[in-house]
Structure 1
Amino acid sequence: MTDDARADLRASDADRDRVAEVLRDALAEGRLDMGEFEERLEAAYRARTYGELAPLTRDLPAGAPVTPVSFVKRPEPDGGWASRIVGGEGSSAGGVAILSGFERKGRWTMPRRFTCFTFMGGGEIDLREADFADREVEINVVAVMGGVQVIVPPGVEVVVRGIGVMGAFEHPREDGPPEPGAPRVVIGGFAFWGGVGVARKVTRAERQRLKEQRRQERLERRESRRELPRASREDWHEAHRDRHEELRERREEWREEWRERREERRRHR
């Protein structure tokens, strides 16, 4: 916390996410139990100012992997596609799996051309966290009684040009137009008694973020219901009572009708 801190400065979503990351690391290290973690996480996403965020990480180590919240506003680094088009030769040019497997995942650089071969084996090429040597990259696959799974993040354009003989090259599901600046991935090659699958998935961190975002939205809806004006709450309760009374009356009518039909059947016996 700096000397020129202003506790009443409004916090951004990025500030709340940084605090949430510190709390998740503290939970993983055993510094917080699950109850404390959930309580602080809820408070973090409900916080509106830095003064509400700062106490949530004050008793955690200063050397935590994620920088604690600061009261000084700084521009956020560019996390868009432009920062992931890095040029160069790539960190891996290909993969081979003969009665075995290979994988490329995590933080790595996808080259302009990646060539792989599988024979009675399998491979996985995960581009969700990868950097790219160029805006258009190519994956060339030869799969003989084997397969390769390609995983791309949402927003990336995928073009499939491979040929399958008693095999197949799958096309990914389309979840919207490509994002501006996103790379283009061209998948080609040959599959004999094998296959190449393509799937769109978000990262685990993004899934966690979306889960917490939905949880926060539920909390906000619950809070908004608590803050309804008294008159509105009374109107809602009155409408609920009216609906309950209407259903009770209908049930009584159904019971009465059923009794009448039963008595009529008895008379006709």
Structure 2
Amino acid sequence: MFLLNQKIIMLLNYFSTILISIIQGLTEFLPISSSAHIIIFAKILNIIDENNFKIFEIIIQLGSTLAIFLFFFKKIKKIITNTIKYGFFYKKKLTISHIIISTIPTILMGLIFYHKIKIINNIHYIIYGLCFGSFLLYFSEQFCPKKPKINNINYLTYKIALLIGISQCFSLFPGVSRSGSILSISKLIGINRPIAIEFCFIISIPIVLGANILELCKHYFLINITNIKIFIIGFIISFIISLIVIKRFLCIIKNVSLKWFSLYRLFLVILLHFFLK
């Protein structure tokens, strides 16, 4: 009986691993907050081991980040080439300096409010984040300029890069969504949506890598022979799913009104409201 129970628990663990890894891959590229969906499904699946789940969440996010890096590799290579060819502070081409400027606000806010962010990372605060993100998406779609003013990624100034970086700080609050906040601000200041999406995911790479590597260094002692297999499976599934859907899902964001994502987020809030009763 004991062995049977152990097998059932193991099967449930693998099922949870596969399901949440797929969810991570599917939601990472839409402005609906992948972290919110992961926490919600963890609650539904009754995952109570918070420490192991924290590491697992980091690992599957790294899987998606690797997919983003490979997808935008040519663009990243171009940014590095621009920096080497024209100089670090060249303003007429997108260089590494633009990436650094856009990531500084989030890094500073993350370091200053690190402990507070960890405390609010639960399903109740996610509801507020989903509502705020929904408002941002709807507001930006409603009041954005009729014609984009910036249609070339090389036209992004340091001022715009900083503004996008500041908007990215909203994503530190669970449920808001990094891509959602950046897309919203970008539309309001007149950046063409494909350009905003491209810049959004490129600057997400150093932020996600830095934050997750920091977390792994702090909690490396939680990784052991028992859970390493689960982590590897999660990473691989998240990476594969992300790589499969990234092109199609980015196409959806480019062509679908942000209002639909806003409505979906509100629908999710309603479901959560009844779920928590």
Q: TM-score, normalised by structure 1?
A: 0.21
The structure with the greater share of residues assigned to strand is 1
The structure with the greater share of residues assigned to helix is 2
